[in-house]
Amino acid sequence: MNLSRRTKLASGIAGAAAFALLATGCASSGGDSADGNIELTVTTFGTFGYDDLYKEYEKANPNITIKATNIDTGGNARTDMVTKLAAGSGLSDVVAIEEGWLGAIMKSSDKFVDLTEYGAADVKDNWVPWKYEQGTDPEGRVIGLGTDIGPQGLCYNGKLFEAAGLPSDRESVAELLGGDDATWEKYFEIGQQYKAATGKAWYDQSGFVWNSMVNQMEEGYYTKDGELNVEGNADMRANFDQLAKATVSGLSANQEPWVWGKGKGFVDGSFATMVCPGWMLGNVKGSLESGGGDASTGWDFADVFPGGASNWGGAFLSVPTTSEHPEEAAALAKWLTAPEQQVKQSAAAGNFPSTIKAQEKLVEEATPNELFNDAPTGAILASRAEGVIAQFKGPDDSIIQENVFGPALKLLDTGKTKSADEAWDKAMSLLNDLVVNN
Amino acid sequence: MTSTLNRPPVESSSSGPSRTPHKAPVSMKHRLSALDVKASPYLYIAPFFILFAIVGLFPLVYTFFVSLYDWHTLEGQGQFVGLSNFTAVLADHFFWNSLFNTVSIFLLSTIPQLLVAVVIAAVLDQNLRAKTFWRMSILLPYVVTPVAVAMIFSNVFGENYGLINNILESFGIDGVGWQNDTLPSHIAIATMVNWRWTGYNALILLAAMQSVPRDIHESAALDGAGATRRFFSITLPSIRPTMIFVIITATIGGLQIFTEPRLFDPVTAGGSQRQFQTTVLYLWEMAFFRQNFGKASAIAWLLFLLIVIFGLINFLLSRSIATAEGRGAKARSQRRLLKLRQREAQESMRARPAASVLAETVPVPGPTEPTEPNAEGSTR
């Protein structure tokens, strides 16, 4: 310890510097530079089709730079958002929210900016009324502006249909499945025919079929009054049994949802149909391309859906109160959800807009979607949106969908059980553990 | 250790002369330097402890505080509930399932990993050509981020399209349910962990082996001990402290495993039936999916206690194993020394001074001593 004075001085300075570093290390830096430029961060999930729109917005507003993040699936995006909400920092200026988690968020809607303060009410009539309603909290604050809705059509592989001796063009397929009177019974029946002819599965996995079935019901996992409505729900149980029977007979390809073997499942003919809400077309496109497929793989989109009109999902853009630039963020959210931009978004991602003008535009243009055998996907979705009802989503809707029924249906998909009762019991026990007694 | 032992005399001798010239101004300046001597060591180590208090101790205490409340992740602090979060977690079969998975993956990874690491270290400890190359190559997997490792291995262990199942199926064997079956999924995750950490541990063990004095090896070799014998009787006991360190860090890491199971199936938190949901993953699900922060904090504390217990067990186990070996060796050499001394004493009466020189340097009687074949046989 016999240090020279200089060494002591140096070590003193070093020590002080270390403390200074420690003290300043926690202070976060703001997103904007001195010359008035503002950086807005945006977080979306799945396939949103916003990339070109960001560029367009940046061009029109030179003082704004957009930093975008995209999260692979809605489930992960939900966790990301909850984590950051809990931490009280880290959320983007504009955050995309899925319909299924809206119920959970409504409980803490004060964590989001009331968009009526930034002129949301003036453009209220842009949207189909129920979509605007969904984004409004009980106190009348608008916390989310609708981007898209999820009317469901049927994705099917025309080449595989042909190989199985089934009609393969869109109109005949719609007719084959029953047209306007299409039922799940009919869908599974044709599935059995297909399976008998080819030995292959009919749909990718049970989970998505189940989501479609539940979203089709007038009341889903919750009643309109917000009461849990699963146990003892005879209609739901009947749907479950029907699906279980089909899955046990081998109609499910037991694919991993959202991954599909990195898209290979779409290319190798593992399954011939898939339930497709508008936004799913973007996922199909992405997976098909990463699996090495293209338009010649044979995927098509039919204007028919078993059990009638169904809406699964759809998103909103919201601005958390932690945003440093709520005004600019709200302006961006408003711009992105305006009809003109929704049309462009739909062209990029294949999803179906929630504003009336944009929907009309899609019908009018009926642009052929190259990847889906030139099907006019936008116009088909508009037809599928007719008669769609907005189902009430409760606080744990997405948990019930993913963590209660997901594992139960996976039991059937993997063949670990062949009994619908057993799978349903599993779901009920999970419901008890995860929702009722949480 | 040695420096602190040596310090007092050095200090007194160096400060002594410097004190004598100035007698009057002892006061201020000297008090300061005395203070410096006393306080600055603490100041130098302070950054660690301050950092630890901020990022280690405070979260630990705060987590315990949270665990005593009904605490929703988004809605914040609720009612004080005492220890009922802990009792709820202890009665939760998902928690026990996660513990089973954690321990199973931990055993499947740590044991083979350490065994292989010791063997690799022993091989690298030999005189190899291009030593640095070999040493660097075994460290290479450690450089790859766990996320990349998980992505690569989930391709290998994919159920429908994975490499291994493709190969198996091309031979007409049914694919393994790497993701949906419990044991295969544990093996898959343990493989990821092993791939990443074996080299790292091997290098640490190698460093320890290199510090084992070569002359002990040489004299043992002279005594006719084979490579295996030397490895078990000299190398292993000598690297005991490092071994304990490696085992304990592997325990902590193994019980906290998160990234690999999380990314092995990115859609679910640990498999559709929670077949590879580890405790940290369950904790994460509880906090950020089910949004029950109170219970999540209780899980965190239980996990903390569990790691402490496992760490202690491992410490005691590895110490007793290594000391049993070490103590045995020590007792043996002392016995030999004693015998040698006795013989020496007998022989010195016959005036043979050479033996005493030998006894000083080499405590173990070599095969050069043909007189006592019994003693040699009993020690082997």
Contact predicate A398/A392, CB 8 Å: no
Structural tokens at position B42: 């603490």
Q: Which residues pair with A96 in a beta bridge?
A: A317
Query: Same structural domain for residues B295 and B360?
Result: no
Structural tokens at position A58: 């940046």
Structural tokens at position A393: 């989503």
Quick check: is B116 in a domain? yes
**Spatial distance between the Cα atoms of A197 and A207, rounded to a whole number of angstroms:** 24
In tens, the pLDDT along A154-163 reads 999 999 999 9
Query: Residue A207's closest CA among A413, A371, A385, A417?
Result: A413
- Asked whether the predicted pLDDT for residue B376 surpasses 70, the reply is no
In tens, the pLDDT along B5-30 reads 444 444 444 444 444 455 555 688 88
What is the bridge-based pairing of β-strands A201-203 and A271-277? parallel
Q: With contacts defined as CB-CB under 8 Å, which chain B residues touch A264? A: 160-161
3-state DSSP of chain A: CCCCHHHHHHHHHHHHHHHHHHHHHCCCCCCCCCCCCEEEEEEEECCCCCHHHHHHHHHHCCCEEEEEEEECCHHHHHHHHHHHHHHCCCCCCEEEEEHHHHHHHHCCHHHECCHHHHCCHHHHHHECHHHHHHCECCCCCECCEECEECEEEEEEEHHHHHHCCCCCCHHHHHHHCCHHHCCHHHHHHHHHHHHHHHCCEEECCHHHHHHHHHHHCCCCCECCCCCECCCCCHHHHHHHHHHHHHHHHHHECCCCCCCCCCCHHHHCCCEEEEEEECCHHHHHHHHHHHCCCCHHHCEEEECCCCCCCCECCCEEEECECCCCCHHHHHHHHHHHCCHHHHHHHHHHHCCEECEHHHHHHHHHHCCCEHHHCCECHHHHHHHHHCCCCCCCCCCCHHHHHHHHHHHHHHHHHCCCCCCHHHHHHHHHHHHHHHHHCC
Residue whose entry in the numeric block shows the structure tokens 């958390």: A320
Higher pLDDT, B375 or A176: A176
Contact predicate A320/A32, CB 8 Å: no
ipTM of model: 0.79
Q: With contacts defined as CB-CB under 8 Å, which chain B residues touch A399? A: 289-290
Query: Same structural domain for residues B255 and B319?
Result: yes
Q: In the prediction, which pLDDT does B268 show?
A: 82
Q: In the prediction, which pLDDT does B207 show?
A: 93
**Spatial distance between the Cα atoms of A137 and A135, rounded to a whole number of angstroms:** 7
% pLDDT > 70, chain B: 79
Higher pLDDT, A65 or B322: A65
Between B92, B155, B288, which is nearest A83 by CB?
B288
Query: Same structural domain for residues B130 and B255?
Result: yes
Quick check: is B69 in a domain? no
Q: In the prediction, which pLDDT does A70 show?
A: 94
Q: With contacts defined as CB-CB under 8 Å, which chain A residues touch B15? A: 2
Query: Same structural domain for residues B242 and B372?
Result: no
Residue B267 to residue A257, Cβ atoms within 8 A: yes
- Distance from the Cα of B160 to chain A's closest Cα (Å) equals 7
Between A76, A264, A407, which is nearest B273 by CB?
A407
Query: Same structural domain for residues B300 and B375?
Result: no
Residue A399 to residue B293, Cβ atoms within 8 A: no
**Spatial distance between the Cα atoms of A9 and A3, rounded to a whole number of angstroms:** 10
Q: With contacts defined as CB-CB under 8 Å, which chain A residues touch B93? A: 433
Band (B350; pLDDT cuts 50, 70, 90): low
Query: Same structural domain for residues B312 and B182?
Result: yes
Calculated CA dihedral for residues B281, B283, B287, B291, nearest 10 degrees: 90
Contact predicate A396/B289, CB 8 Å: no
Contact predicate B179/B264, CB 8 Å: yes
Quick check: is B105 in a domain? yes
- Distance from the Cα of B94 to chain A's closest Cα (Å) equals 9
Quick check: is B101 in a domain? yes
Query: Residue A434's closest CA among A409, A397, A382?
Result: A397
Number of domains in chain B: 2
Between B159, B265, B292, which is nearest A438 by CB?
B292
Calculated CA dihedral for residues A116, A117, A119, A121, nearest 10 degrees: 20
Residue of B176, B180, B295 to mutate when probing chain A, most A C-beta within 10 A: B180
In tens, the pLDDT along B148-204 reads 988 889 889 988 888 999 999 999 988 898 988 999 999 999 999 999 999 999 999
* B288 interface with A at CB cutoff 8 Å: yes
Query: Same structural domain for residues B215 and B348?
Result: no
Query: Same structural domain for residues B329 and B350?
Result: no
**Spatial distance between the Cα atoms of A176 and A168, rounded to a whole number of angstroms:** 10
Full residue range of the structural domain in which residue B287 is found: 87-335
* A130 interface with B at CB cutoff 8 Å: no
Quick check: is B4 in a domain? no
Structural tokens at position B241: 């402290």
Residue whose entry in the numeric block shows the structure tokens 């330097």: B33
- Distance from the Cα of A53 to chain B's closest Cα (Å) equals 29
Structural tokens at position A357: 């003008």
Q: Buried b vs exposed e over A167-202: b needs ≥16 C-beta within 10 Å?
A: ebebeebbebbbeeebebebbbebbeebbeebebbb
Q: What are phi and psi of A140, to 5 degrees?
A: 85, 10
Q: What are phi and psi of A238, to 5 degrees?
A: -65, -40
Residue A257 to residue B50, Cβ atoms within 8 A: no
**Spatial distance between the Cα atoms of A161 and B132, rounded to a whole number of angstroms:** 60
Query: Residue B294's closest CA among B88, B62, B70, B77?
Result: B70
Contact predicate A298/A373, CB 8 Å: yes
Provide the mean pLDDT of chain B.
81
Between B37, B92, B161, which is nearest A261 by CB?
B161
* B289 interface with A at CB cutoff 8 Å: yes
Q: Assign B320 to helix, strand or coil.
A: helix
Residue A259 to residue B266, Cβ atoms within 8 A: yes
Query: Same structural domain for residues B318 and B367?
Result: no
Q: What is the DSSP letter of B53?
A: I
Q: What is the CATH number of the domain that holds B107?
A: 1.10.3720.10
Enumerate domains of chain A plus CATH numbers. Answer: 38-149+313-365 (3.40.190.10), 152-310+392-436 (3.40.190.10)
* B348 interface with A at CB cutoff 8 Å: no
Structural tokens at position B182: 């419990």
**Spatial distance between the Cα atoms of B202 and B196, rounded to a whole number of angstroms:** 11
- Asked whether the predicted pLDDT for residue B366 surpasses 50, the reply is no
**Nearest residue on chain B to A270, alpha-carbon basis:** B160
- Distance from the Cα of A328 to chain B's closest Cα (Å) equals 26
Between A8, A111, A261, which is nearest B158 by CB?
A261
What is the bridge-based pairing of β-strands A148-149 and A145-146? unpaired
Quick check: is B168 in a domain? yes
Q: Which of residues 122-161 of B touch A (CB under 8 A)?
A: 155, 158-161
Query: Same structural domain for residues B357 and B235?
Result: no
Query: Residue A125's closest CA among A403, A357, A350, A370?
Result: A357
Q: What strand order describes the sheet that includes A271-277? A: A201-203, A271-277, A152-157, A299-302
Structural tokens at position A93: 């200026």
**Nearest residue on chain A to B75, alpha-carbon basis:** A108
Residue A256 to residue B43, Cβ atoms within 8 A: no
**Nearest residue on chain A to B92, alpha-carbon basis:** A433
Mean pLDDT of B104-111: 93
DSSP string computed for B229-293 = HHIIIIIHHHTHHHHHHHHHHHHHHHHT--HHHHHHSSSSSS-TTSTT--HHHHHHIIIIIS-BH
Contact predicate A286/A47, CB 8 Å: yes
Mean pLDDT of B239-248: 88
Query: Residue B283's closest CA among B87, B89, B108, B147?
Result: B89
**Spatial distance between the Cα atoms of B96 and B221, rounded to a whole number of angstroms:** 51
Q: In the prediction, which pLDDT does A34 show?
A: 53
Largest CA distance in chain A: 95
Query: Same structural domain for residues B255 and B360?
Result: no
- Asked whether the predicted pLDDT for residue B368 surpasses 60, the reply is no
Q: How many CB pairs under 8 A join A and B?
A: 97
CB-neighbour burial class of residue A270 (10 A; exposed 0-12, middle 13-18, buried 19+)? buried
Query: If chain A, 438 residues long, is cut into consecutive pieces of 10 residues, what is the mean pLDDT of each piece?
Result: 50 50 43 71 94 95 94 89 89 94 87 94 93 92 95 96 94 94 95 95 96 94 92 95 96 92 92 95 93 94 94 94 94 95 93 94 92 94 89 89 93 94 95 87
The amino acid that residue A216 corresponds to is Q
Q: What is the DSSP letter of B377?
A: H
Q: With contacts defined as CB-CB under 8 Å, which chain B residues touch A106? A: none
Residue B265 to residue A256, Cβ atoms within 8 A: yes
Residue B51 to residue A22, Cβ atoms within 8 A: yes
- Distance from the Cα of B204 to chain A's closest Cα (Å) equals 29
- Distance from the Cα of B75 to chain A's closest Cα (Å) equals 7
* A255 interface with B at CB cutoff 8 Å: yes
3-state DSSP of B334-375: HHHHHHHHHHHHHHHHCCCCHHHHHHHHCCCCCCCCCCCHHH
Q: What is the DSSP letter of B92?
A: -
Contact predicate B229/A219, CB 8 Å: no
Structural tokens at position A7: 């060494």
Q: With contacts defined as CB-CB under 8 Å, which chain A residues touch B291? A: 82, 86, 104
Q: In the prediction, which pLDDT does A211 show?
A: 95
Quick check: is B169 in a domain? yes
Q: Assign B159 to helix, strand or coil.
A: coil
Query: Same structural domain for residues B358 and B257?
Result: no
DSSP string computed for B64-88 = HHHHTEEEETTTEEEEE-TTHHHHH
Quick check: is B276 in a domain? yes
